[in-house]
Structure 1
């Protein structure tokens, strides 16, 4: 495998997806993996574009076939994972691969692909993270609390990553990623 793999991770609502989309807009040559999840789609999300939205049974089939590069239960409830075949195929083609995944997944990728570059997207501060989560309005109060509880543990693990990029401004964060990736 000759492709370059970069894992983009960070806590809920930090703007991982926004940063990755902006990176892809600037550099369409990067190959961004589409994760699978058992959670329901949010308004506007498209199956196969934002996530592969799977039933629990379909997710179990991927697990049984060892067809996930990484997977985790996120926020104590929904499962997310990265289909291995697509990622390994992109690597074989020599592509620049981006995985936008959670902390648990990043740790699994590090174990399976030790050459992967791990980048942690951090908020400017805790209050901004809370404001972003509340502001997007996609979770109820219980879901927000669960996500914020998870976020505290994720922020504490930032030093496990090769690089930390503070998302205080999307353009600046993307500039930093472009430099890190040598694009």
Structure 2
């Protein structure tokens, strides 16, 4: 019950803060004012990256036990990236459940901590666009293409950027 009460207080505060003090690189808000668990996000492709100029739509789904557990993030815009699976799910450390990583890729302090905010999550996603983690790709094909055929990778990303501008 305490978690639910805390979450009921935290998420509206985060939403209100982002409306009052927008952060460069993204916008975020509730999909529906009656559902604090589901947020819509617009990630602006970071400057000096292949994603520059893109406007990528995503959804953040918060669990009922937030902030003890992380939200899930899924791009609804097509995006080609080693750390975003083919269905759009984002795979970064801070969105992984807290605790030890059974595969040994991540230290516990790299994983979800209840101190993370919507802002820190989205800034991490923007950072991931500029600097992918090749050690544990969610999209093996994108990772392989980026390493082995960078020209083709650039074309594929450019197509996603153009498509995002038309959505």
TM normalised by structure 2 equals 0.27
Q: Which has the higher contact order (CA 8 A, sep 6+)?
A: 1
TM normalised by structure 1 equals 0.26
